[in-house]
Amino acid sequence: MYEFDLSKKEKKELKIDDAFGFCDGSNVYIRETYSTPFWYFFKKLNSLGLYCFYDGFTSNYSVLPNTGYNSSSHIGVAKSVGTASMIIIGKVIDINKGEVTELSKSSLKSILENDEELLNRFKDEEDKKDKIREYITEYSEKHKADGIYCRDYTLNEETANVVLLRNEKDTSFNAYFERVYHTLKINPAFTEVTLKEEYFTNGNTQTTGIIAKHNFENYEPSLHRVGIWVSYYETGVPKKTITYNITGDVLGSEEFDESGKLTKSRSKNN
């Protein structure tokens, strides 16, 4: 991502053809490229957060030769022959993964699976199509703490243990695993991070947890279970959780009945 001050009169022409995105001092733009025909646009992000929303394009071949397109929502060029029709469609970019997804009712539901309250509320909406932007914005704001940590900041044992704590933004175990996995995965303190999942024959998750190898001082580099590990009943209801610190020590556990009610809780101190 590049940042340019485009307000200076003396600026020279900027060559940003290969940039993933840039900021003009007020707005952030990301690149969209189409191979057939060749054209690219820098699309303005309408919202910033865990999921950034913008108006993308789908295209029907072809476009006018060497045409430039500029508006309040995008900057771009196209190089081809003929005529074109461009269909605007809502898209989001996942800041954790850098993946772009066309925003539809089905893709929104997949994102909202990490937030049971928002998902159920969206399912009850009568005009779901008109509510998509509203819900992705609310989810992104609500889950902004799930976003990635700065790549240049190296976690130590103390700060890594803070990352492993479940917080109010972790509205489900899936949201917790998503946040912790991506935070550790990109951090230079960790040489290996894996999200482990085992399944029942019916396809439901049996066990989920994270293993990681760190390079902290005074520790041998080896894989450890870290954070919360969850085992489930075949129905999908959590059966037991075991919590580990960043060096693999057990901190506590909880057990649940088949209705999800807590039946037993243990901690390292009792």
**Model pLDDT for residues 94-110, shown as the tens digit of each residue:** 877 778 888 888 888 98
Domains of the chain, residue spans: 2-104, 148-267
Residues with Cβ < 8 Å from 58, sequence gap 6 or more?
86, 87, 89
Residues with Cβ < 8 Å from 249, sequence gap 6 or more?
268
Query: In sequence order, what are the beta bridge partners of 34?
Result: 39
Tell me if 34 sits within 8 A of 26, measured CB to CB: no
**Model pLDDT for residues 42-51, shown as the tens digit of each residue:** 788 887 777 8
User: Within 10 A of 72 (CB to CB), how many other CB atoms are there?
Assistant: 7
How confident is the prediction for the chain on average, in pLDDT? 78
The strand pair at 2-3 and 21-23 is best described as parallel
Predicted structure pTM score = 0.50
Lowest-confidence pick of 21-30, 149-158, 174-183: 149-158
